[in-house]
Chains A and B, each alone.
Chain A
Amino acid sequence: MTEPATFSNRPPLLLSVQGLSKRFGGLQAVKDLTFTVGEGEIVALIGPNGAGKTTAFALISGFLTPDTGAVRFAGRDLGGLKPHQVNALGLARTFQIMRPFPRLTVVRNVMIATLGRHADTAEAERRARAVLDELGLGAKADLPAGGLTLAERKRLELARALGTEPTLLLLDEVMSGLTEAETERIVELVRTINRRGVAILLIEHVMRAVMSLAQRIVVLNYGERIAEGRPETVANDPRVIEAYLGDEEIRA
């Protein structure tokens, strides 16, 4: 579990999730979830399929309203805010199932993000192209987004979120389904983005990426936090091992 030492070294709070719960009919998707993300930190949210990770993202980013609990971001209570208002405060998210605007060009896709802070279309386009160049999509800028490969769409999803100039980036499985080389590329990109001071909260199943990126890991199972701490501590936590390998133990 969490060692007191990590608490004392924590950077100033950016995101604080307090007692968050959400129920869908008979399913308790998220239960009394509490965790924090500090400024400039990289935190991973992991857990088996159906553990409530994506629901937690939706609750934090304003797409779902929690039954109980509160989310504070940069000193503000996000309660009752709509997704676009949450985004305007500097909290951007990506979608696990990518949602590009397929008939718009790649650069237009990113402009939808940059226009929020730069109403001048020429300036918004300049910034969009700069983000695309950084993410290695510059050559595809003027093609319709519908024609991109899976790996490119993942980077476009990242580019759009970055285009809103966030201080906290919520990444929902931006590496799943990618080859090892492509994953490595995203890991490097995430690291670069983080170095510029953007805090990152990521949901990820690619454990190698999680272990190399995350400074802290929060583990969910059945909507509840079952462990939290530094990667090596969490990886050796018996409850985490059980949550991931539980089925096999039953079989054995």
Chain B
Amino acid sequence: MRRGRGEPSQGAPTQKMWAAALAVAVLLALPAVLSGYAVTIFILIFFYAFLAQAWNIVGGYAGQLSAGHAAFVGIGGYTAALLFERGVTPWIGMFAGGALAAVLGAIVGYLGFRFGLRGFYFVLLTVAFAEICRILASNIDAVGGAVGLYITFTGNPRQFQFQDQRAYYYIALALMLLATGVVALIERRRFGIYLTAIREDEMACEALGVDVLKYKLLAMIVSSFLAGLGGTFYAFQNFSLQPGAVFGIPLSVEIVIRPIIGGAGTLLGPILGSFILTPLGEVSRSYFGQSGLHGAHLIVYGVLLVSVVLFLPQGAYPFLRKLFTGKQA
């Protein structure tokens, strides 16, 4: 069969596999040489890359800009933490949280997609959903109210708790690889190909026999399930959940901004975005924080975001790919 530009060539997959294997090997070996602080940064890089990759399915590939993905993290985290209080291990609670997030994702998605909310209206719907979750969690005492939930530290791996930060490093890495594997699978299948077309023109898709509502919903469900899994990691790495932190707009922004900077709708964009933004955010947060300028790291985000939108509207990954291979992403 003939091949052309932009289509994967026969030789490339093995080459890519080797590159991916090498990268994973390096990341697996890294904790041996990293300082404790660096390990913490890498945990955040992987975790945010994981959430960004989850968002990428519905926001990047399907082009439905959810600006409330923090809600799914919160729902997942609260579910696992509340189940843990009742004696259910977070290893199970994690999937319960993911499932509940997926159900709510399906409901929000249905409301948005069924009634044709696009662009800004879908953004507003998802923000409103996350805010409703935050306000509910803040006001219901049974789930901790405004104080939130605290998890007693036991250090028991069966309870998703570890003495050694490196354990969280490997779990976060596994989550990032899991989400990336899921996206890689989706990308090659009919589902993923449909999503890229839905992003471009829904009406044309319908005319060609694509059940647009079904595939957008499916994207939302997979995406919110993964984000929900992340909630458990968040809860049991921080040993606490506050409504403002897990349901709030700041976390949603952290999730959205990485794939946009790195390249929304590409496999490696969210990871690249997290490798760029997470260290930058952490360094500027502590640097400005020391000088008493709390929140100044957001200025750094803002400048980066504006620059990317102006100069690399497709994101950093497609730009780098073109730079090094001469191919369109």
Contacts and interface: CB of A to CB of B under 8 A. Distances in A.
17 contacts: A84-B205, A84-B210, A84-B212, A88-B209, A100-B201, A112-B194, A112-B208, A113-B208, A115-B193, A116-B210, A119-B190, A124-B190, A142-B5, A142-B6, A144-B328, A161-B208, A163-B208
A141 B328 CA distance: 15
B209 A84 contact: yes
Interface in B1-28: 1-7
Given A83-B206, A87-B208, A129-B2, A121 B193 contact: yes
B193 A112 contact: yes
B208 A116 contact: yes
A160 B190 contact: no
A153 interface: no
A123 to B, nearest CB: 11
Interface stretch (A91-99, A192-200, A201-209, A233-241): A91-99
A112 B197 contact: yes
Interface of A: 61, 63, 82-84, 87-88, 92-95, 99-105, 107-109, 111-113, 115-116, 119, 121, 124-126, 129, 141-144, 160-161, 163-164
A83 B210 CA distance: 9
B200 A104 contact: yes
Contact of A115 (B3, B194, B212): B194
A116 B194 CA distance: 10
A220 B137 CA distance: 61
What secondary structure prevails in chain A residues at the interface with B? mixed
Interface of B: 1-7, 188-190, 193-194, 196-197, 200-201, 203-212, 328
A88 B207 CA distance: 10
Nearest to A111: B193
Nearest to A102: B200
Given A84-B210, A115-B190, A104 B197 contact: yes
A101 to B, nearest CB: 4
B3 A103 contact: no
Contact of A99 (B7, B190, B203): B203
A63 B203 contact: yes
Nearest to A163: B208
Given A105-B6, A109-B197, A115-B194, 4 more contacts: A87-B206, A95-B203, A101-B200, A142-B6
Contacts of A108: 193, 196-197
B196 A104 contact: yes
B106 to A, nearest CB: 19
Given A101-B201, A105-B7, A144-B328, A121 B207 contact: no
Given A101-B200, A104-B200, A142-B7, A112 B205 contact: yes
A153 B211 CA distance: 24
A93 B207 CA distance: 7
B69 to A, nearest CB: 24
Nearest to B213: A82
A113 B1 contact: no
Nearest to A166: B209
Contacts of A161: 207-208
Nearest to A93: B207
Contacts of A113: 208-209
Contacts of B204: 95, 99-101, 112, 160
A141 B196 CA distance: 17
B6 A87 contact: no
Contacts of A107: 7
A87 B1 contact: no
A188 B197 CA distance: 30
A87 B190 CA distance: 17
Given A87-B207, A87-B209, A141-B4, A121 B194 contact: no
Nearest to A119: B190
B206 A82 contact: yes
